C-alpha cells in the first residue's frame, strides 16, 4: 500500500492521497472543471507549481485565474523566463542573470555577446515575436533539483559566468532548483536557475498579453564596480484586455508627467548646478504657499505648535541619535575649514579642511532637533501631549540615478511633526491624527488605504515595547473606524522602521496609481537615546513616547503627485492663475481694466491678455496653460457690465454679470477647509 499523506483544503475537508501527489492531481480528484482551471497552489502558505509533488501532510489551496494577485505574479515570472529564452535564441552567447516579476510586469538583466553592442529599443519587436513563438509552442515548464557542483559546472560550460557565481554564493544547504522550458535535455529545451514556481507550460500565457517597453543600463548585483548589463523591461498581464487598459494608463501617465507639465505651466525647473534641488518659479511657488497655508491652518486647529530648528547640527548629535550609524551615507557632512596658506599676502588656493575639524551635518530629518526643544526646561505630565510641527528643510544624499523630478530630491521641505505624550495618551493622539489625515486627503480628492507596518527583523527596543506600540496603532485605527476593507486596511509584517512600527497612508490618484505619503510612528527608542523625560504624577522621571507624523510627507513630492493627479488642472484654490481676462476688441480694454481691479480686490489671482490676436487663439493658449477660467469681454459685455466665462474642460460659455462672476470665482477659490 502506498505511503499516504493528508491534504487539508480551505473548507476544512481532508483528503488522504499517496505521497508524491501533485496539486494538479488533487484538483482532478475534486472535479474536471477545477482541474482545468487550476494553475498553481498554495501549499502550507507557499506558492507551488501545479505539478510539484507533495512530500508530506499539507494544507493546500488551489489557485485559478480568479486569484488575480497570485496569477499575475506567476504569469509575470514566466514572461521574464520566456524573455530570457527568446534573447538567447536570437542572440547566442548572451549571458543571463536575474529576471523577477514587478508590480506591473517583469524585467531581465542580460549581457549581450561581445560581437554586438547592448540591446536597444530597436531590438524589442524581434524579441517580442520570438517570445510569442515560445508561448505558442506550449513548452512544458519542468522543475528539477540539481547539486551545487553539477549546476556550477553546467553554467561554466555554457559560459554563464554570472549564473555560476550566483550558484556558488547561495547559502549552503539551500535546494538549488532549475526549470526547463521543454522536456529536459531535448532539442530546443532551455534551462534557467530559479526557485519557482511557474505555470505548467508556456502555453498557459496569453501571447497577446505582454509588451516589452524599454531598456536601461544596470550593474551586476547593483554595484557600479561590476559589469554593466542591459535591463529589458516588459509589462505582462493575464489577457489582452488587461494589457490594453494598462497601456492606456501608461499613455495617460505620460500626459500627466509632472516634469512635462511643470515645464509647460512654468511651475519649476531642475538643473545640474543644483542636482536634486528645485527652482520654484512664481506660479509654482503660489501652489507651494497655498499648501503651506492650508496645512498650517489644519495642524494649528489640531493643537500643534509650529517651531523652526537649525539646518546644521554637530555630528555628535547624530551619533547619539543613531542616525550617523544607520544613515551616514545618506547625509551631507560639513567640516570646519581654514583659509588657504598665504603667499605674498594672497591665498595660494581654496580653503582647506582643518586637521582637527569638527564636523557638522545637514539634517536629513527633524526629529532629533525637536527632542532638543522638548528638553528645554522641565516638563510635567500636565504639559503632555506636546504637539510640535515644522515645515523643515531637510537634505538627503540620494544617489544621482535615484533622483526623479519632484518625486525624489536631495533638498526637501517636510510638513514634519512630533507628538510627545504619555503612555495613556497614545491611542487618543493617533486616533485624532487619523481623523485629521482623513479630512485633508478628502479635501484633495484622494481615496486611500491604511497599512500597519510591523516590526522588522533588525530593530531597536524590546519585544514588549513593540507589542505595545503595534497594538496602540492598531487600536487607534479601529477606534477611528478606518480598519476596514473600504480603507484597504492591511498589516505588513517586517516593514516597520528599525525603531518603531508605523501607520502608512497610500493615496490612490485619478488614474489608479498609489503613492505612500502620510505616516505616524510610535517611537520609544529615540526619547531613550536622546534622554527626553518628563516629571510624572508620582514625582519621578518618565520617558515620553514620541509619535513621528507627516501628512504631505514632503512638499516637493506632494506637489508632484498633485500635478499628475489633477493633470495640471488644479482646483481653483490651488491654481497659480485662477482667471484670465481677455478682450475681443481693444475698445473693451478700459472695461477689462475695471474687471481686473474688481477681481484683484476680491483676492482672485487674475491676469489680463489684451494681445492683438484672435480670441480663439488666446483661448487655446490659456487652455494649454491650464487656466481654469477665461473671462472674455467684447463690446456687448462692456456695455452691459457682464463677462462671458469659458471654463477649462467645458463646452461653450456662460454670460453673467461681473458681480455674479466675481462671487462664483470667490466661492471656488476659497480653500475647502474655509468653506461653510
Could you list the active site residues? 367, 396, 414, 416, 418, 502, 548
CA-based nearest residue to 611, from 632, 586, 641: 586
Instruction: Give CA–CA dist 485/630, Å, rounded.
Output: 43
Direct distance between the N- and C-terminal alpha carbons of the chain, in angstroms, rounded to an integer = 79
CA-based nearest residue to 366, from 327, 332, 394, 324: 394
CA-based nearest residue to 392, from 373, 365, 360: 365
| Cα separation values, 304 from 301, 417, 656, Å | 7, 8, 43
Helix (H, G, I), strand (E, B) or coil at 420: strand
Q: Is 117 left (phi over 0), alpha (psi -120 to 50) or beta?
A: beta
CA-based nearest residue to 335, from 350, 320, 319, 355: 355
Torsional sign, CA 505, 511, 513, 516: negative
CA 597 to chain centre: 44
Contact of 344 with 338, CB cutoff 8 Å = no
| Cα separation values, 491 from 45, 450, 509, 517, Å | 17, 9, 22, 17
Total Cβ atoms within 10 A of residue 617 = 10
Contact of 599 with 577, CB cutoff 8 Å = no
C-alpha cell at 236: 505582462
Helices (H) and strands (E) in the chain, counts: 20, 36
| Cα separation values, 56 from 3, 53, 142, 523, Å | 10, 9, 21, 43
Q: Which helix (H) or strand (E) holds 596?
A: helix 589-601
Contact of 106 with 79, CB cutoff 8 Å = yes
240-256 and 555-566 helices, crossing angle to 10°: 120
Kindly write down the DSSP assignment for every residue of 380-406, as one continuous string: BGGG-SEEEEEEEEEE----GGG-BTT
| Cα separation values, 405 from 3, 180, 213, 216, 530, Å | 61, 42, 21, 18, 35
Instruction: Give CA–CA dist 623/270, Å, rounded.
Output: 25
CA-based nearest residue to 43, from 55, 29, 30, 35: 55
C-alpha cell at 337: 575649514
Instruction: Give CA–CA dist 26/50, Å, rounded.
Output: 9
Contact of 535 with 378, CB cutoff 8 Å = yes
Instruction: Give CA–CA dist 509/573, Å, rounded.
Output: 19
Contact of 524 with 465, CB cutoff 8 Å = yes
| Residue owning grid cell 536570437 | 90
Q: Which helix (H) or strand (E) holds 218?
A: strand 210-219
Amino acid at each position: 500500500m502506498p505511503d499516504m499523506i493528508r491534504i487539508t483544503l480551505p473548507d476544512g475537508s481532508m483528503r488522504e492521497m499517496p505521497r508524491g501527489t501533485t496539486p494538479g492531481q488533487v484538483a482532478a480528484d475534486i472535479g474536471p472543471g477545477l482541474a482545468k482551471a487550476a494553475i498553481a497552489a498554495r501549499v502550507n502558505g507557499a506558492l507551488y507549481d501545479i505539478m510539484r509533488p507533495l512530500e508530506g501532510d499539507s494544507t493546500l489551496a488551489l489557485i485559478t485565474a480568479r486569484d488575480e494577485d497570485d496569477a499575475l505574479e506567476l504569469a509575470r515570472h514566466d514572461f521574464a523566463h520566456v524573455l530570457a529564452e527568446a534573447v538567447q535564441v536570437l542572440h547566442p552567447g548572451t549571458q543571463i542573470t536575474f529576471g523577477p516579476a514587478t508590480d506591473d510586469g517583469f524585467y531581465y538583466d542580460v549581457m549581450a555577446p561581445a560581437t554586438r553592442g547592448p540591446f536597444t529599443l530597436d531590438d524589442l519587436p524581434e524579441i517580442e515575436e520570438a517570445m510569442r513563438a515560445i508561448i505558442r509552442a506550449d513548452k512544458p515548464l519542468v522543475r528539477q533539483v540539481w547539486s551545487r557542483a553539477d549546476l556550477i559546472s553546467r553554467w561554466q560550460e555554457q559560459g554563464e559566468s554570472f549564473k555560476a557565481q550566483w550558484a556558488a554564493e547561495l547559502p549552503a544547504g539551500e535546494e538549488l532548483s532549475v526549470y526547463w522550458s521543454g522536456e529536459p535535455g531535448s532539442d530546443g529545451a532551455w534551462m534557467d536557475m530559479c526557485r519557482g514556481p511557474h505555470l505548467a507550460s508556456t502555453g498557459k500565457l496569453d501571447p497577446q498579453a505582454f509588451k516589452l517597453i524599454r531598456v536601461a543600463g544596470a550593474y551586476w548585483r547593483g554595484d557600479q564596480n561590476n559589469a554593466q548589463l542591459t535591463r529589458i523591461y516588459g509589462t505582462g498581464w493575464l489577457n489582452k484586455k488587461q494589457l490594453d487598459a494598462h497601456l492606456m494608463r501608461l499613455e495617460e501617465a505620460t500626459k500627466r508627467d509632472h516634469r512635462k507639465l511643470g515645464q509647460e505651466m512654468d511651475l519649476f525647473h531642475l538643473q545640474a548646478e543644483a542636482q536634486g534641488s528645485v527652482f520654484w518659479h512664481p506660479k509654482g511657488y503660489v501652489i507651494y504657499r497655498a499648501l503651506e497655508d492650508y496645512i498650517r491652518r489644519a495642524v494649528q486647529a489640531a493643537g500643534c505648535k509650529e517651531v523652526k530648528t537649525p539646518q546644521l547640527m554637530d555630528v555628535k548629535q547624530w551619533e547619539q541619535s543613531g542616525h550617523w550609524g544607520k544613515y551616514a551615507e545618506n547625509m551631507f557632512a560639513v567640516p570646519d575649514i581654514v583659509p588657504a596658506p598665504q603667499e605674498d599676502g594672497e591665498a595660494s588656493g581654496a580653503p582647506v579642511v582643518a586637521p582637527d575639524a569638527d564636523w557638522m551635518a545637514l539634517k536629513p530629518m527633524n526629529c532629533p532637533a525637536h527632542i532638543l526643544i522638548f528638553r528645554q526646561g522641565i516638563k510635567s505630565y500636565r504639559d503632555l501631549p506636546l504637539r510640535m510641527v515644522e515645515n523643515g528643510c531637510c537634505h538627503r544624499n540620494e544617489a544621482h540615478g535615484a533622483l526623479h523630478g519632484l518625486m525624489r530630491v536631495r533638498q526637501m521641505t517636510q510638513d514634519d511633526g512630533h507628538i510627545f505624550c504619555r503612555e495613556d495618551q497614545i491611542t487618543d493622539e493617533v486616533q485624532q491624527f487619523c481623523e485629521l489625515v482623513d479630512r485633508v486627503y478628502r479635501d484633495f480628492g484622494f481615496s486611500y488605504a491604511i497599512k500597519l507596518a510591523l516590526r522588522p527583523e533588525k530593530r531597536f527596543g524590546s519585544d514588549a515595547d513593540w507589542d505595545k506600540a503595534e497594538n496602540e496603532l492598531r487600536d487607534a485605527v479601529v477606534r477611528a473606524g478606518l480598519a476596514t476593507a473600504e480603507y484597504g486596511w492591511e498589516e505588513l509584517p517586517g516593514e516597520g522602521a528599525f525603531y518603531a512600527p508605523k501607520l502608512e497612508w497610500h493615496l490612490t490618484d485619478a488614474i489608479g496609481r498609489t503613492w505612500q505619503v502620510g505616516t505616524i510612528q510610535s517611537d520609544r527608542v529615540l526619547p531613550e537615546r536622546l534622554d527626553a523625560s518628563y516629571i510624572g504624577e508620582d514625582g519621578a522621571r518618565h520617558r515620553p513616547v514620541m509619535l513621528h507624523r507627516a501628512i504631505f510627507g514632503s512638499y516637493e513630492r506632494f506637489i508632484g503627485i498633485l500635478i499628475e493627479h489633477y493633470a495640471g488642472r488644479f482646483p481653483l484654490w490651488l491654481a497659480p492663475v485662477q482667471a484670465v481676462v481677455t478682450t475681443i476688441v481693444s475698445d473693451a480694454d478700459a472695461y477689462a481694466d475695471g474687471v481686473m481691479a474688481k477681481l484683484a480686490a476680491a483676492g482672485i489671482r487674475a491676469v489680463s491678455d489684451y494681445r492683438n490676436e484672435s480670441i480663439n487663439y488666446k483661448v487655446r493658449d490659456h487652455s494649454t496653460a491650464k487656466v481654469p477660467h477665461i473671462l472674455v469681454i467684447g463690446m456687448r459685455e462692456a456695455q452691459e457690465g457682464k463677462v462671458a466665462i469659458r471654463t477649462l474642460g467645458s463646452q461653450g460659455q456662460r454670460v453673467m454679470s461681473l458681480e455674479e462672476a466675481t462671487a462664483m470665482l470667490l466661492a471656488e477659490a476659497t480653500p475647502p477647509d474655509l468653506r461653510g
